[in-house]
Amino acid sequence: MAILDFIFPKTCLGCGREGKYICGNCLSKVPNARPICPYCKHPSIDGLTHVNCSSKLRLDGSLSVWEYESVIRKAILALKYRYATEIGNEISDYLISSLPTLVLPTVHYLTPIPIYWYKENTRGFNQSLEIGRAVAGAMDWKFIPDLLIKKQSTISQAELGGKARRQNLKGAFAVNPTHKSIINGLESVVIFDDVFTTGSTLMEAGKTLKKAGIKKVWGLTIAR
């Protein structure tokens, strides 16, 4: 038995059943996230940004797999704040098996939302990076772990409302200087994150990539 099993016993976060952190029965009860426009939040075919909501620097669309509730919510919170990294492996497996049900754009690259270097050093990992790497590998997409960097530390988005979230992240991201030479060759990029709440994080990151010259930018999250 792994040391982690003593510290954080492998029982379902939803029902307490032993064996997995997310059992299939509990996961089956979590609704799939319906596709919406990431800006107006109204229903949208395949998660496309509505024509009336689109502009040069906005995301072309965004998709999420599940609603942010029940066992998925508990799993993401445990991964994010209790550092139970093994949960990430289970989320990755379930996510990969669910992606074929989504109508995803034709993409060539996936990059995760970065976290500030100090937070990543303190936590020891970036959950969006680790799960995003697994997703990219399964989908046969090229993975760029550090296309974006977070320039500054910001207040946790969980503590803020919609308008404050947008202001909090304004100018927070930048294209990693080591990748500026390949930007012109990146026609389509998917930005991966764990949760879409107001969409502020994906929107700001997407704007950064659009300003750098990438033509199509989509968001993809575990839950919304």
List Cβ neighbours of 164 (8 Å cut-off, separation of 6 or more).
none
What rounded mean pLDDT belongs to the chain?
Answer: 88
Reported confidence tier of residue 11, pLDDT bands at 50, 70, 90:
very high
Q: Which tens digits make up the pLDDT trace of 35-79?
A: 999 999 999 999 999 999 999 999 999 999 999 999 999 999 998
Task: Give the model's pLDDT for residue 169.
Answer: 78
Please compute the mean of the pLDDT values over residues 115-140 and round it to a whole number. 82
Taking the C-alpha atoms of residue 10 and residue 177, their distance in angstroms, rounded to an integer, is: 41
Domain ranges of the chain: 10-223
Query: Is 165's pLDDT higher than 50?
Result: yes
Reported confidence tier of residue 4, pLDDT bands at 50, 70, 90:
low
Task: Give the model's pLDDT for residue 20.
Answer: 94
Q: Where are the beta strands (DSSP E) in 40-196?
A: 61-66, 109-112, 142-143, 148-150, 173-175, 188-195
Taking the C-alpha atoms of residue 218 and residue 189, their distance in angstroms, rounded to an integer, is: 6
